[in-house]
Structure 1
């Protein structure tokens, strides 16, 4: 039998399951905009685009207001 490869996750994606999903309106007013949020904002600025949100690293373990 061969050995199974261990999937290596980046630090950013390690806790993604516990982050809250935010929409572009929250990313737009965020004071510390991340690259993931900025890419999502750029994608949503195209007319007719639809999205499901993006995980926010600032909401890890916090309640988003």
Structure 2
């Protein structure tokens, strides 16, 4: 079975697979310490969390 390129892994993460990607990464111990993969992955995760928080703030009209 061929290895999956990092571009494809990042694209899955961008399109909403952050939760599943995190679980799979630690369950299979894959890309956990990769110096190339982790910074991009964390930026994607941070952006998605910010987006969700913004949507919740707008939806709940906290401000």
| Normalised TM-score (structure 1) | 0.30
Compare the two structures and name the one with the higher helix fraction. 2
Larger Rg: 1
| Normalised TM-score (structure 2) | 0.30
Compare the two structures and name the one with the higher strand fraction. 1
Structure with bigger RCO (C-alpha 8 Å, 6+ apart): 1
